[in-house]
Amino acid sequence: MFQQDDSTFLMLDSALFYKRAFMHLELSDSNYKYCPSRDEWDKIEKINEFLHVFYDITCVFSKTKHPTANLYFPYVFTAHLTLQKGLKSDDAYIVNMAEKMFTKFDKYWSEFSMILAIAVILDPRYKMSFVEWCYNKLHGDDGVNESTKVKDKLVSLFNEYANDGIKNYSSISSTRRAGDGGSETIDETSFSTTSRDVLSEFDSFHRVIVPQKTQLELYLEDPRIDRRNISLDVLSYWKANQFRYPEVAAMARDIFGIPISSVASESAFSVGGRVLDQYRSSLKPDIIEALICTRDWLYGEQEKSAISLEELTEDIMDMSLHSITDHGAQNSYSVG
């Protein structure tokens, strides 16, 4: 069974790098009879191109020190799109591999949490247009319904943060009014009827002509940051814009702290079995600690004093000389 992991892609990629060397060796060395054929090289190239996407995902999720939740949707969407193309491939081997991988991947997409789609909207390089584009690529015209669900959920979540912000602002305002240094309020009830009517007319005009937009709407209307030219740290971005969009920044802070996945990403797209068997996976913590400590006691000093290349070469040469001497002694003993 084919197992997709880092080593598989790296081995294929290395083999393709030395493709011309293998072909030259086949022509120059008559004893070399295991060079892949042209059809096999073509198959390797297709598999390598197919697996490259998943290798990139592994690098982003595993080799990033602090992966934030906004990374999930773009790369998982890329994996989904790659598998869909693999299912429609002309190569039967690619189709078979894509079917096995898609069976396992479908669980991660079908149980996809909408909050992770919201996370990529809060990335100023993508926003809502990216989610709409992704669902349109995957589902065609039906993608509009999916993106609408995400947007409705986003607005609903933002309203909760906005209401909390209004409550906090009201409590702060009331505290300031209760203080001795607060500004004086104006009692408009003592104004004349004409003055009150003029001000009321302005209030009505302001509400109708200039509707107030929410922070979320203002953020979504801002131009997207070009993701091709700028390596953006989204956490730093929202830290810098927390006073411009305080409610959206609070929402982004909470969402970006969500773990991308509860499983190791190396095994997320693998069709192979688990590495740990039932015995190793059921070890108790005290047994694991004892094994680690024992290994450290036995091999710790040896690992610290690594053998140099010269010492290793000298030991090998001594072994060769001793074996030659012993062999010669045995021959002379048998002749005598």
Give the count of beta carbons closer than 10 Å to the beta carbon of residue 30.
7
Is the CB of residue 136 less than 8 Å from the CB of residue 144? yes
Judged against a pLDDT cut of 50, whether residue 114 lies above it is answered with yes
Judged against a pLDDT cut of 90, whether residue 89 lies above it is answered with no
User: Of the given ranges (4-13, 174-183, 219-228), which has the lowest mean pLDDT?
Assistant: 174-183
In three state form, how does the secondary structure of the chain look?
CCCCCHHHHHHHHHHHHCHHHHHHHHHHCCCCCCCCCHHHHHHHHHHHHHHHHHHHHHHHHHCCCCCCHHHHHHHHHHHHHHHHHHHCCCCHHHHHHHHHHHHHHHHHHHCCCHHHHHHHHCCCCCHHHHHHHHHHHHHHHHHHHHHHHHHHHHHHHHHHHHHHHHHHHHHHHHHHHHCCCCCCCCCHHHCCHHHHHHHHHHHHHHHHHCCCCCHHHHHHHCCCCCCCCCCCCHHHHHHHCCCCCHHHHHHHHHHHCCCCCCCCHHHCCCCCCCCCCCCCCCCCHHHHHHHHHHHHHHHHHHHHCCCCHHHHHHHHHHHHHHHHHHHHHHHHHHHC
What local confidence, expressed as pLDDT, does residue 278 receive? Answer: 55
Judged against a pLDDT cut of 70, whether residue 111 lies above it is answered with no
Judged against a pLDDT cut of 70, whether residue 315 lies above it is answered with no
Judged against a pLDDT cut of 90, whether residue 152 lies above it is answered with yes
What local confidence, expressed as pLDDT, does residue 322 receive? Answer: 54
Average pLDDT estimate for 253-266? 71
Of 81, 85, 60, 79, nearest in space to 71 by CA = 60
Per the prediction, the chain carries an average pLDDT of 74
What local confidence, expressed as pLDDT, does residue 175 receive? Answer: 46
User: Of the given ranges (263-267, 281-285, 296-300), which has the lowest mean pLDDT?
Assistant: 263-267
Which residue bears the tokens 């131009």? 223
Is the CB of residue 188 less than 8 Å from the CB of residue 199? yes
Name the token pair of 277. Answer: 């068997």
Average pLDDT estimate for 267-283? 53
Report the amino acid identity of residue 96. N
What local confidence, expressed as pLDDT, does residue 56 receive? Answer: 84
What local confidence, expressed as pLDDT, does residue 162 receive? Answer: 87
Judged against a pLDDT cut of 90, whether residue 233 lies above it is answered with no
For the full predicted model, state whether its pTM sits above 0.75. no
pLDDT band at 156 (very low <50, low <70, confident <90, very high): very high
What are the CA-CA distances from residue 197 to residues 83, 188, 204 (Å)? 66, 11, 11
Report the amino acid identity of residue 20. R
Residues 37-87: tens digit of each pLDDT:
888 888 888 888 888 888 888 777 776 667 788 888 888 888 888 888 888
Judged against a pLDDT cut of 80, whether residue 280 lies above it is answered with no
Is the CB of residue 47 less than 8 Å from the CB of residue 12? yes
